[in-house]
Structure 1
Amino acid sequence: MKKELITIDLGSNSFRVLKFDCLNFKIVDEFHQVVGLADGLVNSGMISFEAQNRVIEALKSSSEKLKFDPKDAVCVTTAAMRKANNSNEVLNFLEKNSGAKFRIIDAEEEARLTLLAIKYALERENLKSEKFMVLDIGGGSTELTVSLEDKSFTRSFDFGIVTMTQKSLKNGDLFQDLDKRKEEVKEFLNTLDFDIKDFPFVATAGTPTTLAAVKIGMDYFNYDKDKINGMVLEYLDLENGLNILKNKTIEETTRLVGKGRVEFMEVGTYIYKMFFDVLGKNTSIVLDDGLREGVAIDCALKMSGKA
């Protein structure tokens, strides 16, 4: 059994790498970079050559920092690659130029692995995990999973911060689109045969974690996930976050949320608010853990024979 494992999550906007201790189920090191994989995807249906090269550069930088060979990493990619007409060509290009072999996972597998990470994170933070809801706001899709003991119910929605920014925000249709999406979420909730009123509302991915950081005055360059994990955001915190981001200069907001993420934070926050409204929640628990952690835990469990 390998002692350490590298997992890579190539999302629609972010590239996230994890070095994981498989024996002790602990994070050793990590790497994050904005690569903008889905830039222009809404209009062209294609992942651009520029975006592909940004991924190659991120693979080079991360392998140097974490000291690994990309061909040995467990690499997954999600919504942007699921949607792109040239995904096979892109996967071949990445493997040829870096050695990294990415696997496109479907929305159900993405939700399963994220849920696995969240369950472990809740246990680590000494939070109850018998029943809860987890929201994962991605760049190209958004997943809501309701977990009840050993059962889970998931719906993947065909919108995310990147696609909604490129389509609805720029067309001036953001709020109309959000209203339509709200009905999709309600439709999913109506399929459940139990009441979710007492289910804690957990949120992961960049929008919730960034809003949590903004709340405590932490900027992108001093981000500390240990201070973010388990934080509780109130609905008012989202309003305050929006006001802060709207009233600061581009230089100040870039320092707060990171390069390549400024334009998406507004839309991400509105999506987050929409789920607060539909779910009837006033608070949300924020966790930094997500897909890359889930992939690592899943692999470690399989290697140990516990899966």
Structure 2
Amino acid sequence: MAKVVAIDLGSNTCRAIEYDCATGSFGRECERIVKTADRMHETGLIDEGAVERVIAALKEADALFDLKKTPYHAVTTAAMRMAKNSDEVLDRIAGETGVRFEVIDADREAFYALTAARARLAELGMSAESLCMIDIGGGSTEVIFYQKGETVSKSFPIGIVTVAQQCEDPEEIRTFVQLQLLREVYIFVDTYIITKGRPLTFVMTAGTPTTIAAFLQGMTYDSYDPTKINGYRLSRPDCEKALQELLALDEMTRTLYVGVGREALIVAGIVIVELFYEVLDYNDAIVIDDGVREGVAIAFCEEGEH
């Protein structure tokens, strides 16, 4: 294999990227907000609108990468794991686009996210051997510990889409997340740290921390530059600053920074990020743009996955 394509269909976005196995470099990419988990908390189903958005995004990816001729690996995560109609939806997507997805479990999702983050940290000359990492998605959040070559992870059923659709403002989001999530996270984190010790480095991936880092550097959604995101150090006060400044903007201006359809989601995401600083007891985090999509590409080449 020379070049491969990795596709990650999450609870909010569909992301695809080209990867050169020989050089270890990423190439063309595309990303679309598809809101796979839209209203799933009400019905337990992936609705017709979400399916149509996913199909449109995949047709766009096919036009860019020619997926009928290019090796690809497509994975999908929390929304498809939880939806009652996931088999039916995936069959329809395959029928209309030719793209067949593998529904991966939380451990595999954590593996891919960690693979991508460690590769990027190494490229940046940063230590990748003792990490606590969170990956905040649309429908779930993964907490991943990596030390001495051992990975311990757990997925929690809360994400920016599901929270944003059930809460109106930051205080309501805080209360909701604290009731739904924090006790379980505290138990998992405390048990790990007591038995294994606290990792040296705190890492955040996925759309919320990368959007915060971009906003604080003055980037708009269209001028987003991952090279200025990877390795960015983000503190909890930075998150609060970004939240207050974003809330002070009118909706049109806010959209310029966070993207169409993400205005409410980013508020939920920032509140969730702030709560994880509290639970994990770190002062700052290293932000990494690479996520499951990039990890799938790397593993595809290294393991010859199909």
SS of 1:222's partner is coil
Q: State the 1:278 CA deviation.
A: 1.0
1:280 is aligned to: 281
Q: State the 1:70 CA deviation.
A: 8.4
Residues 40-68 of structure 1: per-residue CA shift (max 9 Å, x gap): 11101111111111111111112223343
Q: State the 1:72 CA deviation.
A: 4.4
CA distance in 1, matches of 2:171, 2:70: 43
2:114 is aligned to: 115
CA distance in 1, matches of 2:241, 2:235: 10
CA distance in 1, matches of 2:170, 2:178: 15
1:194 is aligned to: 196
Q: State the 1:151 CA deviation.
A: 0.4
CA distance in 2, matches of 1:154, 1:80: 19
CA distance in 2, matches of 1:83, 1:69: 29
CA distance in 1, matches of 2:7, 2:69: 9
Q: State the 1:226 CA deviation.
A: 0.7
CA distance in 1, matches of 2:207, 2:176: 21
CA distance in 1, matches of 2:259, 2:29: 17
Q: Which runs of 5+ in 2 are unaligned?
A: none
2:264 is aligned to: 263
User: Contact between 1:71 and 1:101, CA under 8 Å: does it hold in 2?
Assistant: no
User: Contact between 1:31 and 1:62, CA under 8 Å: does it hold in 2?
Assistant: yes
Q: Which runs of 5+ in 1 are unaligned?
A: none
SS of 1:46's partner is coil
Residues 180-235 of structure 1: per-residue CA shift (max 9 Å, x gap): 32221110012220321x52110000000000000100010011101111000111
1:77 aligns with 2:76: yes
2:55 is aligned to: 56
SS of 2:196's partner is coil
Query: Where has structure 1 moved over 6 Å in runs of 4 or more?
Result: none
CA distance in 2, matches of 1:285, 1:171: 24
Residue 299 of structure 2 aligns with an amino acid whose one-letter code is D
User: Contact between 2:173 and 2:271, CA under 8 Å: does it hold in 1?
Assistant: no
User: Contact between 1:142 and 1:157, CA under 8 Å: does it hold in 2?
Assistant: yes
CA distance in 1, matches of 2:147, 2:84: 37
SS of 2:139's partner is coil
Residue 85 of structure 1 aligns with an amino acid whose one-letter code is K
Q: State the 1:171 CA deviation.
A: 12
Normalising by the residue count of structure 1, what TM-score does the alignment of the two structures yield?
Answer: 0.94
CA distance in 1, matches of 2:71, 2:295: 18
CA distance in 2, matches of 1:81, 1:66: 24
CA distance in 2, matches of 1:214, 1:63: 31
Q: Calculate percent identity across the aligned residue pairs.
A: 37
CA distance in 1, matches of 2:154, 2:250: 37
2:219 is aligned to: 218
Residues 267-296 of structure 1: per-residue CA shift (max 9 Å, x gap): 100110001011111111000010011111
SS of 1:190's partner is helix
Normalising by the residue count of structure 2, what TM-score does the alignment of the two structures yield?
Answer: 0.95
User: Contact between 1:63 and 1:70, CA under 8 Å: does it hold in 2?
Assistant: no
Equivalent residue pairs, number: 302
Q: State the 1:73 CA deviation.
A: 2.4
